[in-house]
Amino acid sequence: MTMTAEPTPATAPEAPSTTGVLDRVLKVRELAIAAVLVLMLTATQLDNSAFLSQQGIKDLLLNATILVLVAVGQAVVVITRNVDLSVGSVLGISAFAAGDLLHGGGNPVLAVLVAVALGAAFGVVNGLLVSLGQVPALVVTLGTLYIIRGLDSIWIGSRQITAADLPSGFTTFGHDGLGVVPYLALLTAVVLVAAAYFLRSYRSGRDLYALGSSPEAARLAGVPVRKRILGAYIVCGALAGLAGALYLARFGNVDSGTGNGYELTVVSAVVVGGVAFTGGSGSVYGAALGALLLTSINSVLPSIGVSSVWVQAIDGVLLLLAIAVDRVVALRVAGLLRKRAAQTRSAHHG
């Protein structure tokens, strides 16, 4: 939907006033999540003053980093009206690949690059299957999810990487940082800003929104559909791979079950963050906020002494709320667009 706010020359001329309103409506969506987050954290801090201690803030950021990375990648794919369910298994296999390399005495930087490259390679497979096969992404990536899990079991078997296999510098990188900001969070922030800038300011980034809003119109407007979808999946895979390497640094333990079921958490984060499943709207900042919100709930409940059995129910309520808000916003935006179209028409006639 934001796509229409930044038209290619072929479409209607600019209408600055309504564009401003549109932008504001969409920003409100992200502000709302941020407000909920701030409210929740403040309330917890009032209840338990140890919550936002130096260690507490560091933990909150560390808890969110891995999910944020994968959610950013997933958001890029969801914006194109597709989905990548294989991220959990890609994360697991990349984490093991990096661990295997480090276990053999490899260079940590190389290990991270290997994880990213492996993730990107699976992204290529997903992207080709979805774009060439013209098969629904849900089904294709469900298939690759199982295939990669299978490869995982065959390759890894009962082996596991434990903290003792990793160089101490690598695990230190997983929990140290500059003051209260962990290195992992810095890295994630860089990725987040870069992805957001790309989606906002590059033609190919805008193409992704066009594709998600209306695949047919995008194709007619000359958007290279297959190339863009392939690109989105590669980004998503590479970020899942990077997340795998960071998982290894943070948890220091990987086996063939790592990342099991993670895809659903990622999809919830993206949807709570306001990236619509119908494609074409939302931002990676929203997805990142959604991920931060979901992981923070898991930290807030134990901190105030509430049983963790409530976590899933709360996540579910948030999901439904997010979808409801999205629906309202979508109706409003549609209304605004109609108004603008009417204005444009009268401008032409006048």
Dihedral sign from CA coordinates of 136, 138, 144, 147: negative
Binding footprint of another protein, residue count (CB under 8 A) = 41
Residue 308 found at the interface with another protein (CB under 8 A) = yes
191: which residues sit within 8 A by CB, 6+ positions away? Answer: 69, 72, 239, 242
Residue 9 found at the interface with another protein (CB under 8 A) = no
Residue 346 found at the interface with another protein (CB under 8 A) = no
* DSSP assignment string, 155-213: HHTT--B-GGGS-HHHHHHHH-EETTEEHHHHHHHHHHHHHHHHHHH-HHHHHHHHHHH
Rounded to a whole number of angstroms, the minimum distance from the CB of residue 190 to another protein is 21
83: which residues sit within 8 A by CB, 6+ positions away? Answer: 74, 77, 137, 138, 141, 267, 277
Rounded to a whole number of angstroms, the minimum distance from the CB of residue 147 to another protein is 14
Measure the CA–CA gap between 326 and 305, rounded to whole angstroms: 32
256 φ/ψ angles, rounded to the nearest 5 degrees: -70, -10
Pick from 88, 99, 108, 174: which binds another protein (CB under 8 A)? 174
Rounded to a whole number of angstroms, the minimum distance from the CB of residue 11 to another protein is 45
Pick from 25, 57, 180, 301: which binds another protein (CB under 8 A)? 301
Residue 176 found at the interface with another protein (CB under 8 A) = yes
Pick from 8, 42, 107, 162: which binds another protein (CB under 8 A)? 162
Per the structure block, which two tokens stand in for 234? 């590669």
Pick from 160, 204, 343, 344: which binds another protein (CB under 8 A)? 160
CB nearer to another protein: pick between 158 and 346? 158
CB nearer to another protein: pick between 299 and 343? 299
Rounded to a whole number of angstroms, the minimum distance from the CB of residue 39 to another protein is 19
Which one of the spans 82-90, 173-181, 222-230, 316-324 is the region binding another protein (CB under 8 A)? 173-181
Residue with tokens 């959604």: 290
Which one of the spans 90-98, 103-111, 112-120, 249-257 is the region binding another protein (CB under 8 A)? 249-257
Q: What is the contact mask toward another protein in residues 251 to 270, using x (rule: CB under 8 A)?
A: xxx-xx--------------
Which one of the spans 14-22, 28-36, 102-110, 244-252 is the region binding another protein (CB under 8 A)? 244-252
CB nearer to another protein: pick between 159 and 227? 159
Measure the CA–CA gap between 132 and 208, rounded to whole angstroms: 17
Dihedral sign from CA coordinates of 139, 140, 143, 144: negative
Length of the chain: 350
Cβ atoms < 10 Å from Cβ of 313: 9
Rounded to a whole number of angstroms, the minimum distance from the CB of residue 43 to another protein is 14
Residue 63 found at the interface with another protein (CB under 8 A) = yes
* DSSP assignment string, 116-135: HHHHHHHHHHHHHHHHHH--
Q: What is the contact mask toward another protein in residues 276 to 295, using x (rule: CB under 8 A)?
A: -------------------x
Measure the CA–CA gap between 184 and 300, rounded to whole angstroms: 21
Per the structure block, which two tokens stand in for 212? 């998600």
CB nearer to another protein: pick between 204 and 253? 253
**Contact residues for another protein, defined by CB under 8 A:** 48, 50-51, 53, 55-56, 59, 63, 153, 156-160, 162-164, 166, 168, 171-172, 174-176, 250-253, 255-256, 295, 298-299, 301-305, 307-309
